[in-house]
Amino acid sequence: MFSGHEVPERGKGMKIREDGGVAIRQSWLNDFLLCPERARRNVVEPDANIGSDLTVIGTAMHAVIEQVLSGEIDPGAAAEAAPEALQMAAEAEPWKSTGLTPEEMVGQTRLMSAAWADNVYPIMPPGGQVEYRFEFQIGEADGTPVWFEGTIDYVAPNNTVWDHKSASRKYQQWEKQRWAVQPSVYCAAAVHDGLVTQVPVKFFYDVMLRNGDTQIVELQRDIGHISFVRKQALSAAQFALRYGMDNPWPLNDQSALCSHIWCPFWDTCKGADMSGDELTWKP
């Protein structure tokens, strides 16, 4: 199937299924569209792609939100539940520090969890699907079945799809509406599995900012978006099937994520050609 390197089952975002098909997650497809080489290395070097203390905070915040939406705790207990959720997230996987102290990590997790409970929870329709896992075939690439797999944070009973985010600054609605891959994949899954019955599908990012503010970003995805994201995924799968995993894929640095902060492969990619002075130069 793959020429060259075999895709490991634990490869981040893309893997070979037990039935021989190719499974793609929205995060891997997004990486492929930003930089194909980053996507390849996420598959063949999954242990190199570790999160940061900010990732741990976001994971912990997600866990608190899930507990509230599942009815395990009351919204008013969100801040109280944050430290334990943070400890569990910090112990689950390796991560690197950006300089936050343990006290700052706890404080940010408490702040964002409470902000969600105070400002977002009251407007989210209750009684929906929490952490909904999906998998469905979207077509074939060179005769190989290709599937979307993933987990949606929340699908509300009013035909809306939600994803919780932690961020340092507000999202730009027009950018997410025009380019974001995640809403297209998740809305495709919700439509396929019958969780929503109205198209276009309303998709909401509920964003918790690290200063305690919150933001609701409303997007929509129609049949055109769903059709096109399938085409994108099938073309990415075909590329991987034909070129294999042993040799580098095309490099792209036309994104803010191509940096020593946001790309785990920076040091052995563009970073190998750049000096510190070049990174910090200003006229």
Residue type, 70: S
Domain region containing 189: 14-44+128-243
Long-range Cβ pairs for the range 221-224 (8 Å, 24+): 221/183, 221/184, 221/187, 221/188, 223/199
Contact 79, 106 (CB under 8 A): no
User: What is the mean pLDDT of the segment spanning 223-229?
Assistant: 98
Kindly tell me if the per-residue pLDDT of 11 is higher than 80. Answer: no
pLDDT at 39: 96
User: What is the mean pLDDT of the segment spanning 134-155?
Assistant: 97
pLDDT digit string (tens) for 166-186? Answer: 999 999 999 999 999 999 999
pLDDT digit string (tens) for 260-277? Answer: 878 889 899 999 998 878
| Within a domain: 257 | no
Identify how many contiguous H helices and E strands the chain contains and give both numbers: 9, 9
Same-domain pairing of 40 and 153: yes
Same-domain pairing of 87 and 176: no
Same-domain pairing of 204 and 102: no
* Assessment of whether the complete model's pTM goes beyond 0.95: no
Higher pLDDT, 51 or 122: 122
Contact 20, 144 (CB under 8 A): yes
Same-domain pairing of 132 and 221: yes
Kindly tell me if the per-residue pLDDT of 281 is higher than 90. Answer: no
Task: Answer with the one of 123, 141, 169 that is the final residue of a domain.
Answer: 123
Same-domain pairing of 21 and 150: yes
| Within a domain: 212 | yes
| Within a domain: 273 | no
